[in-house]
């Protein structure tokens, strides 16, 4: 018993034809005209399978395949249906159409299942509308409340609450629809890797063990702006060279002092006044630190704070280091990792166990249920761009692994 590559391909092609930016990638924001059309397509496919369908107040579609087992907790699978601006065909959607295919195969083969199988298509994962990611899964799991939807706004200043209401959703009801532990037995999300590990090693499947956590710091260094010609080197208080010292130290801290998977990046820097013949007066830069172990992030964070103090004192600079954002690292369920791994071994799939450097909807669910994730390769590691590509052969393998895993979970 296996999935049908043609049906998967057909679903992906049909959905990606609906885009706000033809010939410039997929742009399918939640609550847009394109989103309505895609929902119509997917809901028709779900109805054809006889699923019982519910759309919650934030727009998550939940569709259940029930076989005389209505009262038992579901085996959940799925991903998100929205995209970034000018994104790719495979991010999110791959997890939704493979979940749909799994139910098709279970139904057409009359596979016996003891738990309902539930497909979830999350809304507003990318943060494209309101700058806040995973709004659908945060609402589903109760991490966001109704009040939060009134606070976050789109570029036109309209609240998420209002946008959802205008889209026809019963948004006032969201707090009554929070996923309960007794409703769900496990969640498995299939997603494209969005990195280059699987592709570079020519491996079709990644079994995710953990999703990285993140700490973002903003560093401000203030010196004295002055003439680049007439100020001798010994009279300078130059925050740019101070920043350079700290940035080099961040690379060293992540590589040599922290843990195996710790990474640190300075990708944003702001210099005042930013003139080629002026010693800068002030430098601001962000440090993005990630790891699957909190300890790894903390080591780099401590290094950042102590090095900044040392450099600022040595160079006579004023300084400030602020934590401006953070998310916890998430360990996925060892039970699910084992089941997925055993299934991959039994079927001789080419796989590795790995971590996810990107955050996904599933990262919100471990407090509620056992969570597992299956990755399929992103060619050249590209994602969030029109060049994003995953081979349909690999998606089919991932779908077969999802299918076999779900059937096992539904019959334990």
Shortest distance, position 162 Cβ to Zn ion, whole Å: 25
Interface mask toward Zn ion for 38-77; x: CB under 5 A = ----------------------------------------
Using rule CB under 5 A, residue 388 touches Zn ion: no
Shortest distance, position 410 Cβ to Zn ion, whole Å: 25
**How many residues lie near Zn ion (CB under 5 A)?**
2
Shortest distance, position 60 Cβ to Zn ion, whole Å: 15
Please say which residue, 308 or 383, places its beta carbon nearer to Zn ion.
383
Residues 6+ apart with CB under 8 A from 282: 220, 221, 222, 223, 225, 239, 271, 272
Please say which residue, 91 or 124, places its beta carbon nearer to Zn ion.
91
| Stretch binding Zn ion (CB under 5 A), from 18-26, 36-44, 89-97, 212-220 | 89-97
SS3 191: strand
Shortest distance, position 80 Cβ to Zn ion, whole Å: 6
Report the site for Zn ion in 287-326 (rule: CB under 5 A).
none
Structure tokens at 89: 């065909």
Please say which residue, 339 or 365, places its beta carbon nearer to Zn ion.
365
SS3 267: strand
One of 45, 56, 91, 238 touching Zn ion (CB under 5 A): 91
Please say which residue, 56 or 91, places its beta carbon nearer to Zn ion.
91
Shortest distance, position 400 Cβ to Zn ion, whole Å: 21
Residues 6+ apart with CB under 8 A from 375: 190, 191, 192, 193, 198, 205, 206, 207, 208, 354, 356, 398
Report the site for Zn ion in 222-261 (rule: CB under 5 A).
none
| Stretch binding Zn ion (CB under 5 A), from 45-53, 87-95, 171-179, 286-294 | 87-95
Q: Are 203 and 352 in contact (CB under 8 A)?
A: yes
In the chain the first and final C-alpha atoms are separated, in Å, by 19
| Stretch binding Zn ion (CB under 5 A), from 12-20, 83-91, 329-337, 341-349 | 83-91
248-251, Cβ contacts within 8 angstroms, sequence gap of 24 or more = 249/303, 249/304, 249/307, 250/287, 250/300, 250/303, 250/304
Q: Are 255 and 364 in contact (CB under 8 A)?
A: no
| Stretch binding Zn ion (CB under 5 A), from 84-92, 102-110, 347-355, 401-409 | 84-92
Respond yes or no on whether the N-terminal peptide bond of residue 5 is cis (omega within 30° of 0): no
Q: Are 185 and 405 in contact (CB under 8 A)?
A: no
49-57, Cβ contacts within 8 angstroms, sequence gap of 24 or more = 49/100, 49/103, 49/104, 49/107, 50/107, 51/103, 51/119, 55/169, 56/139, 56/140, 56/169, 56/173, 56/174, 56/177, 57/139, 57/164, 57/169, 57/170, 57/171, 57/172, 57/173, 57/174, 57/177
Shortest distance, position 125 Cβ to Zn ion, whole Å: 6
Shortest distance, position 20 Cβ to Zn ion, whole Å: 18
One of 57, 59, 78, 92 touching Zn ion (CB under 5 A): 92
Please say which residue, 83 or 343, places its beta carbon nearer to Zn ion.
83
Please say which residue, 89 or 220, places its beta carbon nearer to Zn ion.
89
Please say which residue, 25 or 92, places its beta carbon nearer to Zn ion.
92
Shortest distance, position 8 Cβ to Zn ion, whole Å: 17
| Stretch binding Zn ion (CB under 5 A), from 88-96, 281-289, 302-310, 337-345 | 88-96
Please say which residue, 137 or 308, places its beta carbon nearer to Zn ion.
137
Q: Which of 43, 21, 48 is nearest to 32 (CA)?
A: 21
Q: Are 169 and 124 in contact (CB under 8 A)?
A: no
Cα atoms in the Cβ-side hemisphere of radius 13 Å centred on 271: 15
| Stretch binding Zn ion (CB under 5 A), from 33-41, 48-56, 91-99, 295-303 | 91-99
Q: Which residues bind Zn ion (CB under 5 A)?
A: 91-92
């Amino acid at each position: 018993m296996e999935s049908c590559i043609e049906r998967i391909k057909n679903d992906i092609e049909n959905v990606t034809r609906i885009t706000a930016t033809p010939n410039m990638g997929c742009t399918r924001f939640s609550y847009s005209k394109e989103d309505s059309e895609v929902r119509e397509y997917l809901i028709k496919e779900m109805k054809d399978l006889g699923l019982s369908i519910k759309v919650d107040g934030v727009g998550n579609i939940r569709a259940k395949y029930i076989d005389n087992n209505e009262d038992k907790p579901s085996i959940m699978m799925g991903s998100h249906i929205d995209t970034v601006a000018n994104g790719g065909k495979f991010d999110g959607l791959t997890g939704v159409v493979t979940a749909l295919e799994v139910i098709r195969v279970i139904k057409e083969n009359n596979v016996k299942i003891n738990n309902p199988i539930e497909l979830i298509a999350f809304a507003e994962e990318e943060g494209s509308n309101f700058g806040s990611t995973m709004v659908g899964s945060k609402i589903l799991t109760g991490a966001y409340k109704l009040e939060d939807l009134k606070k976050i706004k789109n570029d036109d200043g309209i609240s998420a609450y209002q946008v959802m209401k205008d889209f026809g959703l019963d948004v006032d009801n969201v707090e009554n629809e929070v996923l309960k532990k007794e409703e769900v037995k496990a969640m498995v999300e299939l997603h494209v890797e969005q990195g280059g590990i699987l592709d570079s090693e020519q491996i079709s499947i990644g079994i995710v063990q953990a999703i990285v956590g993140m700490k973002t710091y903003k560093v401000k260094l203030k010196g004295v702006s002055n003439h680049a010609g007439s100020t001798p080197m010994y009279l300078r208080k130059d925050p740019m060279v101070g920043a350079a010292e700290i940035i080099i130290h961040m690379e060293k801290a992540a590589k040599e002092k922290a843990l195996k998977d710790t990474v640190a990046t300075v990708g944003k820097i702001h210099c005042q006044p930013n003139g080629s013949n002026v010693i800068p007066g002030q430098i601001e830069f962000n440090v993005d630190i990630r790891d699957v172990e909190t300890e790894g992030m903390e080591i780099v964070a401590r290094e950042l704070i102590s090095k900044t103090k040392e450099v600022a004192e040595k160079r006579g600079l004023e300084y400030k280091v602020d934590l401006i954002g953070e998310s916890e690292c998430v360990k996925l369920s060892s039970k699910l990792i084992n089941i997925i791994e055993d299934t991959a071994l039994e079927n001789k799939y080419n796989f590795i166990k790995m971590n996810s450097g990107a955050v996904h909807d599933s990262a919100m669910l471990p407090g509620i249920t056992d969570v597992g994730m299956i990755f399929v390769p992103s060619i050249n590691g590209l994602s969030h761009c029109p060049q994003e590509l995953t081979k349909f052969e690999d998606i089919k393998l991932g779908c077969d692994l999802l299918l076999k895993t779900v059937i096992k979970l539904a019959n334990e």
